[in-house]
Structure 1
Amino acid sequence: MIAYLATGGTIASIPAAEGSGAVPTLTGADLLASVPGIGDVGAVEVHQMMQRPSASFTLADVRTVQRTAQEVVDAGASGVVVSQGTDTIEEVAYLLDLLWDRPEPIVVTGAMRHPGLPGADGPANLSASFQVASSLSARDLGVLVVLNDEIHAARFVHKSNIAAPDTFGSPGFGPLGYVVESTPRLRLLVSRNPALSLGPDIPPVALWRMVLGDDGRALSKLQTLGYEGAVIEGAGGGHVSAVTVPFLRDLVTEMPVVLASRTGSGEMLRSTYQYSGSEMELLDAGLISAGSLDGLKARLLLTVLISAGASREEIEREFALR
């Protein structure tokens, strides 16, 4: 049996009236009925988790999805499919992956064209996702993202285009495999790290992108605003304007601060540049390298670690591991 957790999003959206914009309306049962040959994957149990656009999700919502997935797997489901809006798929899938400790796969999917548009891709994406979720080859791979017949690891997947059906990719890595003639073909495997726990109190963690001419003054307000951690997206390999360095030095005395790159892909530099505002100066000042995680995912990992009461040393170790 495959459990299907429906949450809304473009895949479930239709215009409320002629000429109006689409809103999440269709239920999981409605969507399942649109998938040709769904009976071939066996029994499907539908759970309507929520009905909203994914930009309105909270981290607590994702934890609820994870706990429901855990419950249905413990009750006998051999896999889980989650449908949602594509706006935050890369974040939701990665957070689920951090928390998921079962061998059964969670497959996250959505649609780029809602059911009222020509070429709506929801049914095809759902069909491929159920094929992957029911495949033994998907076990022990954690959380996967399946759209456009491509199978991506939650750890690497990234949305790169506002509306294109092939918006999802894994920069620097590529897909793990493809769905061909309704059969998952997994060509690459990913190693899994130990699952983490999201504490009952979810701390606010800021994501700040450094831009040309930024003087860093807003960084001094983060603690006052209640933030308990921060991710700084620097330029290139992790670089900021020299005038922002004093603010960052103060910030690391107040909270854990992770240094990521605004480029969105590649491994952070550690020992290439040593000018003021370089990665070497920032790491020496106490910022923690995000490794190969982009800012969106680094923020989620830092949030989980702070919620669990992790020390600075533990935070550094987890970022080096993942």
Structure 2
Amino acid sequence: MTSIPSADAPQVTVFSLGGTIAMTDDGRGGVVPALSGAALLAAVPGLTETGITVTVEDFRRLPGASLTFDDVYELVEAIGKAVAAGAHGVVVTQGTDTIEETAYLIDLLWDGHAPVVVTGAMRNPTLAGADGPANLLAALLVAASPQAAGMGCLVVFNDEIHAARHVRKTHATSTATFVSPNTGPLGHVVEGVPRLLTRPTPKPPLPHRQRAGRARVALVTVSLGDDGELLRGLAERFDGLVVAGFGAGHVPARLVPPLEDLAGRIPVVLASRTGAGSVLTGTYGFPGSERDLLARGLISAGWHDPLKARVLLHVLLAAGATREEITTAFATA
């Protein structure tokens, strides 16, 4: 644990999890997560001038693709301890591969007033124009800002401030990869000052938040000519299913019988593979339409994209939520 002391200043704890922002050349032609959180902070220009007192915890040293639900549950516990010890805000640095999922999971689990800000980098520190230091500085400024309090988990990237529940990774390499398709950013960091243009609506409390057991949730994306083979035997292997359907929530007619059968055995959530917009409820009436599937027991994901729908369903199932509670949570979360 490393501290950068500054008297009478906002206190922010940084949890370093690895990812591109912390990667260096391993001598074999590729980069791997190796840098400590203290090393990341040492590369941030102008940090001392912010007056923020920063404490660093090296929580994990993994690529984003290798993070798990267990890692995030443990991280949220550690965040709670850091805030109880006096942190005004928290920054999490990690790999961008899974930020849209981990940030939303943190948002669901974290019920504190202190802001939790997730950031990372698209260009590792060995590359020209590495974006990690700028992203980390912006994230620290947001986490230390009183304006960000009570907003749950935020993603700060490329000087934009996004709500975790809306943000998506939309490009494999661009530094402007994080976008909130349905809402746009909440604000921006301008000349070192967080400028919030709007605030997300308050989160309704989940019926269950504490994990009572483990859950396995499958995600199946429907595609042209899909014959439903991926659905075979799924209820015996998984506790829940998210179906990423066409358009506003549609599947081929041949998938209707197996999906209806699955919905009678495990919760099946219907999302749109488009990644933006809401699943409809009553516009289309053909076999395999959203109206048909919802009438057969599938649960609408609403505005949740498939990845976030899977995260929410996992949290609910792991906490022992009933089918009715799951339906309500998707309608209101």
Q: Report the TM range for the smaller structure's normalisation.
A: over 0.9
Give 3-state SS (helix, strand or coil) of 1:29's partner: helix
**Residue 263 in 1 paired to residue 274 in 2?**
yes
Q: Deviations over 1:252-292 (max 9, x none)?
A: 11100000000001011100001011001100000000000
Aligned twin of 1:22: 31
CA contact (8 A) 2:212 2:320 kept: no
**Residue 205 in 1 paired to residue 217 in 2?**
yes
For residue 44 of structure 1, report the CA deviation from its aligned partner: 0.7
Give 3-state SS (helix, strand or coil) of 2:61's partner: coil
Give the alignment partner of residue 61 of structure 1, picking from 66, 71, 86.
71
Aligned twin of 1:306: 317
Q: What is the distance in 1 between the residues matched to 2:253 and 2:52? A: 60
For residue 71 of structure 1, report the CA deviation from its aligned partner: 0.6
CA contact (8 A) 2:155 2:164 kept: yes
Aligned twin of 2:175: 165
CA contact (8 A) 1:220 1:251 kept: no
Give the alignment partner of residue 90 of structure 1, picking from 100, 124, 128.
100
For residue 16 of structure 1, report the CA deviation from its aligned partner: 1.2
Q: What is the distance in 2 between the residues matched to 1:131 and 1:250? A: 50
For residue 13 of structure 1, report the CA deviation from its aligned partner: 0.3
User: Which consecutive residues of structure 2, in runs of 5 or more, have no partner in the other structure?
Assistant: 1-10
Aligned twin of 1:187: 197
Aligned twin of 1:42: 52
**Residue 244 in 1 paired to residue 255 in 2?**
yes
CA contact (8 A) 1:35 1:126 kept: yes
Q: What is the distance in 1 between the residues matched to 2:306 and 2:143? A: 28
Give the alignment partner of residue 18 of structure 2, picking from 3, 8, 24.
8
For residue 200 of structure 1, report the CA deviation from its aligned partner: 4.1
Aligned twin of 1:283: 294
CA RMSD, Structure 1 to Structure 2 (Å): 1.0
What amino acid sits opposite 2:229 in the alignment? Answer: R
Aligned twin of 1:106: 116
Aligned twin of 2:227: 215
Q: What is the distance in 1 between the residues matched to 2:155 and 2:51? A: 18
Change (3 A) 1:41 1:214: farther
What amino acid sits opposite 1:167 in the alignment? Answer: T
For residue 172 of structure 1, report the CA deviation from its aligned partner: 1.9
Change (3 A) 1:156 1:41: farther
* Aligned residues between the structures: 320
Q: Deviations over 1:167-206 (max 9, x none)?
A: 1110021000000010000001012222551414220000
CA contact (8 A) 2:213 2:320 kept: no
Alignment TM-score, normalising by the size of structure 2: 0.94
Q: What is the distance in 2 between the residues matched to 1:202 and 1:32? A: 36
**Residue 274 in 1 paired to residue 279 in 2?**
no
For residue 218 of structure 1, report the CA deviation from its aligned partner: 2.2
Q: What is the distance in 2 between the residues matched to 1:240 and 1:105? A: 39
What amino acid sits opposite 2:232 in the alignment? Answer: S
For residue 95 of structure 1, report the CA deviation from its aligned partner: 0.3
The 5-angstrom pairing of residues 221-232 of structure 1 reads 221-224=233-236, 226-232=237-243
CA contact (8 A) 1:272 1:280 kept: yes
Q: What is the distance in 1 between the residues matched to 2:281 and 2:240? A: 21
Q: What is the distance in 1 between the residues matched to 2:291 and 2:201? A: 29
Q: What is the distance in 1 between the residues matched to 2:24 and 2:125? A: 6
| Consecutive aligned runs of 4 or more in structure 1 exceeding 6 Å deviation | none
Q: What is the distance in 2 between the residues matched to 1:261 and 1:191? A: 22
Change (3 A) 1:44 1:115: same
Q: What is the distance in 1 between the residues matched to 2:229 and 2:135? A: 45
